[in-house]
Amino acid sequence: MWMKSNHEEVQNFTGFSRLKPEFYNSWANYFVRFLEEYRALGVDFWAITPQNEPIHGLLIEGQWNSMGMTATEQKTFLMQELGPAIRGSEFNKTKIIMMDDQRFSVVEWSRVVRDPLFLL
């Protein structure tokens, strides 16, 4: 909660929010730790996604714990933090899936996020 923008605004888990950029590195390291802990229990993941339904945390005033990401924010997080953290770990074969949200936005989202110099 403290890493999200809505903590300062409403001090709440629910509603509109974003991951604060100063916590991108911590969030990426959390993913690696998550994978380590599950592997210790005998569970391996073939893929992860940086944020489930990233549009919902920006557009829908839900009563559930949510966090939104724009395509640009997701690209920055993937390129600067999550991609390098996963690729530099023992989980470097784990796929990273972007934009697991609404079909109508997949084409535009992928135009923004994909980069020919950085292949996930």
**Residue 99 CA, distance from chain mean position:** 9
pLDDT digits (tens, 9 = 90+) for 68-110: 888 888 889 999 999 999 999 999 999 998 877 777 777 777 7
At position 94, the amino acid (one-letter code) is T
> Which structural domains are found in the chain, ordered by start?
6-113 (3.20.20.80)
> Which pTM value belongs to this model?
0.77
Rounded to the nearest integer, the mean pLDDT of the chain is 79
The contacts of residue 71 (CB under 8 Å, 6+ apart) are 99, 108, 109, 112, 113
Instruction: Give yes or no for a contact between 91 and 38, defined as CB atoms under 8 angstroms apart.
Output: no
The pLDDT assigned to 44 comes to: 96
Q: How far, in Å, CA of 15 to CA of 75, rounded?
A: 23
